[in-house]
Structure 1
Amino acid sequence: MPPFSSADFLVAALRSAGCVFAEDEAELILSTARTPDEATAMLERRVSGLPLEHVLGWAGFHGLRVAVEQGVFVPRRRTEFLVDLAVAQAPHASLVVDLCCGSGAVGAALAASLDGPELHAADIDPAAVRCARRNVAPFGGHVHEGDLFAALPETLRGRIDVLAANVPYVPTGEVDLLPAEARDHEPLVALDGGVDGLDILRRVTAEAPRWLATGGCLLVETSERQAPLAVEAFARSGLTARLAVCDELYANVVIGTSP
């Protein structure tokens, strides 16, 4: 692909590749690239099917520019709803945990929105852990590698005010139906939630009460179809559960409060 000479060249190439928002993507590439050659290389990666956020190296999330490396789950705009709910639920939270943190976008957004809480994040994927460390470092956050709560320091048990867990919730049989950008370029461990998509959610809700402070809250994103079963899982664990829905973002978040 020859070096481009104008934004029009980028727009035409992106549109030919099937990018619906070609003008917006071209503007982002031009504003991110430091040289024409770098912009051309970014265009080539995007046209080959790489997610735009992986091409740019960042994603916009809740007013932040979050670093996103290749092979790491890209934060979705709908998850901003979970952040807003957490801030409204616990505006004075002093200890926040971002479980299944991926890039650490949720944890960073919570830290930016709250008054300097102690922040911890955890993920089982080493690539996600490396990326999250970059994103939570400005907030003094700590990132741990491991399987759910096993990754967290025992000193956090019974003290967490906000536990945000953006768990994978795509049913195994539906992973192949995801857009190619997610299916081919994001880690399966961040997408596949088991047969009905709720395996990880059930594990989190079962153990969360032992980690939450009195009055602490757990927030988990799920799908509209799965929401009733997710609420039941929260209730079985002893949490007071409610479902919050944002039609604009197609977002469904279950909030559970510790007695």
Structure 2
Amino acid sequence: MPDVGDIASRLRASGSVFAEDEAALLVAEARTPDELESMIGQRVAGLPLEVIVGWAEFCGRRIVVEPGVFVPRRRTEVVVREAVAAGRTGAVVLDLCCGTGAVGAAIHAALGGVELYASDVEPAAVRCACRNLEPLGGLVFEGDLYETLPASLRGRVDLLVVNAPYVPSDAIALMPPEAREHEPHVTLDGGADGVDIQRRVAAGAAEWLAPGGHMLIETSVAQAPLTVDAFREGGLTPEVRRADDVDGTVVIGGHAR
């Protein structure tokens, strides 16, 4: 039987904050002693735990995570909560900058019967999102924001959920190594003030939203005023929502009236 305490000590020495929990998970997921040792070595080297085991827990679901794809964060659960509160069964949902497709999958599970679409510019993310969303009936597109979405979606989207990059370019160097070294910079870099991609999303949102539809964009407390400005510039009426239990912030808004 592997010594979980010894494994935790090795992980802790490499900088792991939750060494005991991670050690227990690696032991549970490894099929052989050699595989366990390989997984420990990868974690000590800084590879994200979720990439090593191949999944992340998000809103109570296991989401497939592949190398080179942004790992779902718990703070993003605030986007799901607010989307579900604003949505309904049968809603048309578009998960933009979808990464693994975790947000769309969680909304589908909570509302049931949604018409689900997703898009990402990263080929690795699209492949991963297909694994998570196609079994749910979702359609995943590869392209820059709205560019490859079917024209039939224009004016039909009830919930436009977005986890666009919002880290200011100069702040990426301050992120934990497992993020800045193992996740594509395109999934992190939001430009000089962190809101460049959000502005582009907001500028095109009104064309895709259905009457009464909502756009929800994850942001930070510090950047929320800039995200709000992006909504207003796109003709949307914004409101900031906060979930302290997951340290998450989202701006939600619909067409200005």
Task: Tell me the TM-score range normalised by the shorter chain.
Answer: over 0.9
Counterpart of 1:40 (choices 37, 60, 77) is 37
Superposed displacement of residue 158, structure 1: 0.4
Match of 1:76 among 47, 51, 73: 73
Moved more, 230-239 or 217-226: 230-239
- TM-score, normalised via structure 1 length: 0.96
| Helix, strand or coil at the partner of 1:149 | coil
5 Å-filtered alignment, 1:95-244, equals 95-244=92-241
Are 1:16 and 2:13 matched, yes or no? yes
Distance in 1, matches of 2:143 and 2:76, equals 22
Q: Is the 8 A contact 2:96 2:162 kept in 1?
A: yes
The runs of at least 4 consecutive aligned structure 1 residues that moved more than 3 Å come to none
* Partner amino acid, structure 2, of 1:218: M
Q: How many residues align?
A: 256
Partner SS, residue 226 of structure 2: helix
**C-alpha separation in 2, matches of 1:229 and 1:12:** 42
Distance 1:66 1:205 in 2: 27
Q: Which moved more, 1:89-98 or 1:105-114?
A: 89-98
Contact 1:93 1:161 in 2 (8 A): no
Instruction: Identify which range, 58-67 or 6-15, moves more after superposition.
Output: 6-15
Q: SS of the residue aligned with 2:217?
A: strand
Conservation of the 8 A alpha-carbon contact between 2:133 and 2:139:
yes
For the 8 Å contact 2:95–2:101, the answer to whether it is kept is yes
Query: In 2, Cα distance between the equivalents of 1:5 and 1:90?
Result: 46
| Corresponding position of 2:24 | 27
1:193-246 Cα deviation digits (max 9, x unpaired): 011111110011110000000000000011111111211221222212111011
Supply the distance in 2 between the matched residues of 1:12 and 1:58 (Cα, whole angstroms): 23
TM-score, normalized by length of structure 2? 0.96
Distance 2:10 2:170 in 1: 34
Contact persistence 1:121–1:143 (CA under 8 A): yes
Residue pair 1:116, 1:139 contacting (<8 A) in 2 also: no
Inter-partner Cα distance in structure 2 for 1:195 and 1:81: 25
Deviation sequence 1:30-87 (CA, Å, 0-9, x none): 1211222211111110011111111111100001111111111000000001100000
Alpha-carbon distance in 2 for matches of 1:110, 1:97: 10
Q: Which moved more, 1:122-131 or 1:235-244?
A: 235-244
Q: CA deviation at 1:14?
A: 1.2
Q: CA contact under 8 A between 1:168 and 1:190: conserved in structure 2?
A: yes
- For residues 175 and 30 of structure 2, what CA distance do their matches in structure 1 show? 29
Contact 1:172 1:194 in 2 (8 A): yes
**Of 230, 233, 257, which residue of structure 1 is paired with 2:254?**
257
Q: Secondary structure at the match of 2:15?
A: coil
